[in-house]
Structure 1
């Protein structure tokens, strides 16, 4: 589609920037889920999406990791928000013990 491209090839045999997709973003989501687990997930999802789309993406673009020929940072915001909500509801579903605030 050509909406964005990565300028860094970390390991030639795997897709570009897999470190962000499978390490940094999940760890950040896990951090948000575990910190103050009783707070509203919508607010936390909005915070995660805003920080990722408007701080992390411009920072990595500034470092030269990727380019956005036709994609804009604000277009990533709803995707990050939905990804956070899916992760939150998977973690807090009936399968696992609920997270609670330590006293």
Structure 2
């Protein structure tokens, strides 16, 4: 789990286009913040648990929320710029809820109690679309060509 929190950032730093760093980091920080909040709410409401802690007293969802989710979003925003943000959001949602959550369940690092991965799909779509909008917003002098 510790390597899941570090290796994706190293890969992202090497492969992303540096001129978009600020725009992508803004989107990634937004996604990180909302992921942490939503995960915390889900755990507190008893919808799911993370039975594995990376470090004692630090929740097991941190590698997902601080690394995997924002890195995936940032890479998807930057790649295939001609693709529709809605299409990208659907791909992100299906990969995250379908593959990511099921893999975490299989690895026993995430255990849904009153939640099904399919419930996450509309949430992931919505969060991706907002992150994409933030990354490409002219308000922040974005380097991306916004097609909104």
TM-score (norm 2): 0.64
5+ residue gaps, structure 2, are 1-44
Comparing both chains, which one has the higher relative contact order based on Cα–Cα distances under 8 Å and sequence gaps of 6 or more? Answer: 1
Aligned residue runs from structure 1 range 56-67, under 5 A: 56-67=100-111
**Structure 1: how far apart are the matches of 2:112 and 2:80?**
34
Question: Does 2:135 match 1:83?
Answer: no
Q: 2:117 aligns with which of 73, 85, 88?
A: 73
Stretches (4+) displaced over 4 A: none
- Which blocks of at least 5 consecutive residues in structure 1 are unaligned? none
Corresponding residue pairs, total: 100
Say whether the 8 Å CA contact 1:33–1:88 is kept in structure 2: yes
Matches within 5 A, 1:10-21: 10-21=54-65
TM-score normalised per structure 1 = 0.90
RMSD value over aligned CA atoms? 1.4
More helix per residue: 1 or 2?
A: 2
Aligned pair partner of 1:44 in 64, 85, 88:
88
